[in-house]
């Protein structure tokens, strides 16, 4: 019999991992509510100056989101494999 919790973990892991891999900037923006930790000054909603190459997003956070996304895809695939 198919374990529903394991199937849900597999699907959720793969879906969240793909979202983290495809749109890491969006994940960082959602987690920081439009503000970055080092942006203590300025007006609400400003992401940085328009001439920033990465739009004001730190590449360290984006890299971390991609690593977490890859780990989620791998763990979701593992949980899916255990169902077979």
pLDDT per position as a tens digit, 32-76:
775 655 656 656 666 555 444 555 557 888 999 999 999 999 999
Q: What is the pLDDT of residue 67?
A: 96
Confirm if 18 and 69 have CB atoms less than 8 A apart: yes
What's the pLDDT band for 11 if we cut at 50, 70, 90?
very high
Q: What is the pTM of this model?
A: 0.71
Q: CA–CA distance from 49 to each of 3, 39, 78 (Å)?
A: 50, 12, 42
């Amino acid at each position: 019999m198919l374990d529903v919790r394991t199937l849900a973990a597999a699907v959720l892991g793969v879906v969240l991992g793909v979202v983290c891999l495809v749109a890491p900037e969006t994940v960082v923006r959602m987690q920081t509510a439009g503000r970055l930790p080092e942006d203590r000054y300025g007006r609400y909603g400003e992401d940085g100056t328009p001439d920033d190459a990465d739009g004001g997003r730190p590449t360290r956070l984006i890299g971390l989101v991609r690593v977490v996304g890859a780990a989620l895809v791998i763990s979701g695939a593992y949980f899916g494999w255990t169902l077979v």
